[in-house]
Amino acid sequence: MPRDMLTGSRIRERRAIKGLRQADLARQVGISPSYLNLIEHNRRRIGGKLLVDLAEVLGVEPSMLTEGAEAALISALREAAAEAGVAMAETDRAEEFAGRFPGWAEVLVWSHRRITSLERTVETLSDRLTHDPRLAASLHEVLSTAAAIRSTASILAETGELEPEWRDRFHRNLNEDSARLADSSKALVNYLDDTEASADHRGAPQEEVEAFMAAHGHHFPLLEEGTGDLDAIIASAPELTGRAARQVARKILRQYAADVVAMPLAVFTEAVKAQGLDPLALAQAFAVDLPAVFRRIATLPEGALPGEVGLVICDASGSILFRKAITGFALPRHGEACPLWPLFSALNRPLVPIRRRVSQLGRAVAEFDCLAIAWPDGPPGFERDPLYRSIMLILPVRHGEGDGATPQPVGGTCRVCPRGDCDARREPSILSEGF
């Protein structure tokens, strides 16, 4: 039995081991079940005859129920007080506090432990997430392989007489590791260095485009007026340092301009006011498809909608091509997103609109209304399969707005998702203790 377990908790545990109901134990020692309940939840201190009676029924020595329990509580209280910088006079009264309010004392100790655990989680997170996980994994692979080669080569070079069995084994290892080093070095260089566009080193094109769109609030007044010059906008964007990023941005702005023509700002905003944020009705009213409506909603100026909206677009491989972040919905910067997002479900049923209420567990549970659809991108052809893309509009659900139905739990990406029991998990979470 853990020494830091309180007396009440120990009684509860022993009773469970013996298979006794609370009412049965209470009756045998002559107290009410509700009083025993208070004791078991450490809300009443016990001692003397009652403790002896309980221990007898439970078949243990009274000391097994009490030894070290209070001391552990007081010690934990002092530890919490010391870390909080409480004055010595108060710390000295920890014993009195634990005696008079054992339940509150336990709450305080629990809170202190929880804070310590969360601090450790934050420390671990900042340690690992301040680095690009792909880059870190790639470097780790190179350095580990180099370490293996160096050690093995030293043994072969420096060990005078090496048994043939060991020598053959180390030769084999060296051969394997050198091939592995060649592959991992090549992969690392490819990742770091785009030889065709050396200026692209600052960041991934996707990240530069995201920074560019965010700097403009995803809204471009000149394009709304039809007077904007795409090349001028892109040339004057300090965020777009690489050729690849400028190409991606140009494609997005070209699509933006086409959406403006199909759904002019003033008319579209009026339609939203009149019909509400009903993408199907808006698509019908403007004779456009749902992806166009989703994109247009995501480019409305601040204040045109009651709250912020998020948007994600992916291709059939699941790679994220575009994202507009929304508060509370984690969109991974690196690595793969949660396969439970409706964005990916839509890929299984192209052209079928999907609407799901989802919740993401972060520092607080936030609910979102996700609308998704997958569609064939590009002109049709008899000789080739269509290339599908999927788009998901993310709308926040305000407190009290939900229909009461349980939202579908989803994550951001497995590495930082605290959900324990998930069939979709690809890899363990680094949040060993969760939030």
Partner 1 sequence: MGRHVLLIEDESNIAEAIRFLLTRDGWQVDTHADGRDAVEVVCAAKPDLVILDMMLPGKSGMDILRELRAIDGLHDLPVLMLTARGQSRDRDMAEKAGVSRFMTKPFSNIEVLSAVRDLLAQASRT
Contact set with partner 1 (CB under 8 A) = 120, 123-124, 127, 136, 139-140, 143-152, 154-155, 158-159, 166, 169-170, 173, 176-177, 428, 430, 432
Would you say 117 or 408 has its CB closer to partner 1? Answer: 117
Indicate the residue among 90 and 183 with the shorter CB distance to partner 1: 183
Comparison of 184 and 359: residue with beta carbon closer to partner 1: 184
Output the smallest distance, CB 147 to partner 1, in A.
4
Report angle CA 25, 31, 36 to the nearest 5 degrees: 65
Measured CA angle at 424 (ends 410, 356), to 5 deg: 35
Q: Which is nearer to partner 1, 154 or 284 (CB)?
A: 154
> With contact defined as beta carbons under 8 Å apart, do 326 and 298 qualify?
no
Provide, rounded to whole angstroms, the least separation between the CB of residue 322 and partner 1: 32
For residue 65, the minimal CB distance to partner 1 (Å) is 23
Nearer to partner 1, 424 or 430 (CB): 430
Please identify, using beta-carbon distances, which residue of 149 and 257 lies nearer to partner 1.
149
Q: d(Cα 154, Cα 148) in Å, to the nearest integer?
A: 10
Q: State the nearest-atom distance from the C-beta of 56 to partner 1, in Å.
A: 32
Question: How far apart, in whole angstroms, are the C-alpha atoms of residue 432 and residue 424?
Answer: 18
Min dist CB 72 to partner 1, Å, is 14
Q: Cβ of residue 396: shortest distance to partner 1, in angstroms?
A: 35
Handedness of CA 153, 158, 160, 166 (dihedral sign): negative
Q: For residue 133, how far is the Cα from the chain centroid?
A: 14
What number of CA atoms fall less than 13 Å from residue 431's CA on the CB side?
18
Q: Strand 354-361 and strand 408-410: pairing?
A: parallel
Which of 71, 74, 65 minimizes the C-alpha distance to 109?
Answer: 74
Strands 365-377 vs 354-361: parallel, antiparallel or unpaired:
antiparallel
Q: Of the two residues 271 and 431, which places its CB atom closer to partner 1 in the complex?
A: 431
Q: Shortest distance, CB of residue 126 to partner 1, whole angstroms?
A: 10
Phi, psi of 157 (to 5 degrees): -80, -35
Min dist CB 331 to partner 1, Å, is: 25
Select 225 or 427, whichever has its Cβ closest to partner 1.
Answer: 427
